[in-house]
Amino acid sequence: MKRFGQLLSLAIVIGLWASPAHASISLTLDSYDVDGLDSDPGLVIETANLLPQPYSFDLEVGESITVELFDIWTNESAHNLDDSVQKPISVDFLFSEPAPAFGGSVDGGTSAVTGTIIVIPFSAGLVEWDGVSQLFFGPNGDGILEVTLLDEYFNGSLIGGFDPGRENGATINADFKLLVEPTAVPEMSSIIVWSFIGLGVGLVAYRRQCSAA
């Protein structure tokens, strides 16, 4: 009985050692696409991706990383009435790691806004995002990566129109935050060890029951 108890203790130690430990998660953004208004009516915008594709980074639970995602601008110079009507914009993300591949989108809108600085009129483009997006990933779909895009003004001008061109546009930043680490599919070695532990506990209970009878 003593010998069996020693073996059971050893199996428990091995089982704990074989269990997956909490560590940083390696993520690979395979690609992303920006879809916005490219023809009238409305404020026509241009975009240019900034991140290399694929782009890899590591996060632990609670950690985040902020990156420059894309430039946005307009080549229009005159502010027309239809420019003030908000038009949809979205960014679609596709991650290849950790497997299986996963993705999602962040939606928002672009429009022209006007105001005054003291008594001088100004106009600018504005991109506003609807909110954060949560991407679920991992073999069990229970990992959560939160994606936040930041609102920005672009191509502002104090003469009532727009100051056109990419050089007068804005850069959209993205924040990726790991909220929940995905649970792993147990490895075969762990399954065997924990099965042995369960069997051992059952045998100990059975022997005690027989001794008490």
| pLDDT tens sequence across 116-151 | 888 888 999 999 999 999 999 999 999 999 999 999
CA 201 from chain center: how many Å?
A: 42
- The answer on pLDDT for 21 being more than 90 is no
Confidence of residue 198 (pLDDT cuts 50, 70, 90): low
Instruction: Share the mean pLDDT of the chain.
Output: 86
- The answer on pLDDT for 12 being more than 90 is no
pLDDT of residue 210: 57
Confidence of residue 18 (pLDDT cuts 50, 70, 90): very low
Matching residue, tokens 């999602």:
104
User: What ranges make up the beta strands (E) of 40-189?
Assistant: 46-49, 55-59, 64-73, 87-97, 102-117, 120-129, 133-137, 143-149, 152-157, 170-180
Matching residue, tokens 């108890």:
5
How far apart (Å, rounded) are the C-alpha atoms in residues 66 and 33?
18
CA 146 from chain center: how many Å?
A: 4
Question: What's the pLDDT tens digit per position in 55-112?
Answer: 999 999 999 999 999 999 999 999 999 999 999 999 999 999 999 999 999 999 999 9
CB 178 within 8 A of CB 145: yes
- The answer on pLDDT for 184 being more than 70 is yes
pTM comes to 0.79
Pick from 18, 20, 15: which is nearest to 198 by CA? 15
Q: What is the DSSP letter of 82?
A: G
- The answer on pLDDT for 189 being more than 80 is no
pLDDT of residue 23: 79
- The answer on pLDDT for 201 being more than 50 is no
- Spans of all domains in the chain: 1-20+185-213, 23-183
